[in-house]
């Protein structure tokens, strides 16, 4: 998920309404700019499942991984074995890995550093459960060119609620599915409890340092909002207080892009309430590929 912690409104404070709305709108503009950037999710334009042995890649149609032009017709191979991926480039192919031109090298799965760059194309290894893929980014992707813009509910401060973080006695291992049907194994250290529209609710939290992230679904999902899930990020204060600002709930990458592997919310994160706040369903351009 994006680690884009939101508005700078103090815990427990009721913000000046105009200033608060402005801060949320600024957050949304930053979110959309990141989405449209050279490294944003709109540039992801391929997801290729690796098989044991050699996986050829290039723009030629007989490759295992077919790249868009003007990539070389036969660029090289990804040698995959037992979760390890070694790239071998054909002579004369100019490719950069970790800032250096290479002829061969290892790409570690889900590493921000191990990105193979050929022209405007970037490839890296991504794990989806127990399966591995080559994910392709293309600065000139059609999804990026056809992007129609994000859509949001009006800012409503009643959806900015104060929650309490409660650690589990022991971190809880869980298995969840992603949109590709793969099983993801996560460890959940705690949850938050809060009240919204008169209902007592809770959400399991993924925690990294002081950042808490949530994958959730609610009664607007599949109607006004994206069916699979939405995401929300915030921070945990030292006293365990957490601000949940659903005005900054945002779509997972799979709302825009069919080449992504978004997690689905566990049953305990499917809220029996309508969260009429945050990002709405994305409308693809007519004829565009996508969910």
Q: What is the pLDDT of residues 101-160, one digit of tens each?
A: 999 999 999 988 899 999 999 999 999 999 999 999 999 999 999 999 999 999 999 999
Helix/strand/coil percent split, the chain, to 5: 15, 40, 45
Residue 134, classed as helix, strand or coil, is: strand
Task: Flag whether pLDDT at 20 surpasses 90.
Answer: yes
> What is the per-residue pLDDT for 286?
64
Rounded distance between C-alpha atoms, residue 281 and residue 226, angstroms? 5
Average pLDDT, integer, range 188-209: 96
CA within 13 Å, CB half, 162: 10
DSSP H helices in the chain: 17-36, 142-145
- pLDDT of 15 strictly over 70: no
Portions of the chain given CATH number 2.60.200.20: 41-138
Q: What is the mean pLDDT of residues 171-176?
A: 95
**Closest by CA position to 141, among listed 286, 280, 256:** 256
Residue 231: its pLDDT value, please? 98
The pair phi, psi for residue 167, each rounded to 5°, is -70, 145
Q: Look at 16-30, 195-209, 235-249, 275-289 and tell me which has the smallest mean pLDDT.
A: 275-289
Res. 8: pLDDT tops 60: no
In this model, does residue 288 exceed pLDDT 80?
no
Q: Tell me if residue 4 falls in helix, strand or coil.
A: coil
What CA–CA distances, in Å, run from 42 to 96, 118, 138?
22, 18, 9
Bridge-based pairing of strands 53-58 and 76-81 is: antiparallel
Average pLDDT over residues 70-82: 96
DSSP 8-state symbol, 46: E
Task: Give me the pLDDT at residue 287, please.
Answer: 53
Task: Sheet with 76-81: list strands edge to edge.
Answer: 65-66, 53-58, 76-81, 84-89, 104-107
Looking at every residue in the chain, the average pLDDT score rounds to 92
CATH 2.60.200.20 fits 41-138, yes or no: yes
Confidence bin at 11 (pLDDT 50/70/90): very low
């Amino acid at each position: 998920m994006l680690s884009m912690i939101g508005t700078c409104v103090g815990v427990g404070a009721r913000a000046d309404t105009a200033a608060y709305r402005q801060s949320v709108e600024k957050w949304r503009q930053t979110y959309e700019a990141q989405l449209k950037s050279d490294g944003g999710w709109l540039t992801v334009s391929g997801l290729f499942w690796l098989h044991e042995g050699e996986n050829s890649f290039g723009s030629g149609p007989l490759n295992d991984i077919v790249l868009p032009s003007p990539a070389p017709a036969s660029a090289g191979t990804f040698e995959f074995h037992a979760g390890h991926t070694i790239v071998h480039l054909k002579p004369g192919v100019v490719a950069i890995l970790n800032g250096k031109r290479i002829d061969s090298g290892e790409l570690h799965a889900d590493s921000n550093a191990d990105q193979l760059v050929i022209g405007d194309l970037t490839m890296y290894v991504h794990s989806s459960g127990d399966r591995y893929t080559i994910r392709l980014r293309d600065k000139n992707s059609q999804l990026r060119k056809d992007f129609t813009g994000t859509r949001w509910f009006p800012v409503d401060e009643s959806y900015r609620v104060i929650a309490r973080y409660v650690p589990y006695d022991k971190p809880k291992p869980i298995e969840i599915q992603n949109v590709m049907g793969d099983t993801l194994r996560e460890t959940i250290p705690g949850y938050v409890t809060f009240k919204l529209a008169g209902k007592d609710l809770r959400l399991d939290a993924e925690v990294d340092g002081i950042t808490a992230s949530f994958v959730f679904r609610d009664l607007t999902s599949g109607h006004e909002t994206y069916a699979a899930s939405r995401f929300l990020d915030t921070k945990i204060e030292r006293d365990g207080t957490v601000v949940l600002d659903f005005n900054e709930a945002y779509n997972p990458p799979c709302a825009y892009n069919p080449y992504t592997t978004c997690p689905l919310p566990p049953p305990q994160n499917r809220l029996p309430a309508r969260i009429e706040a945050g990002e709405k369903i994305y409308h693809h351009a007519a004829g565009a590929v996508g969910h």
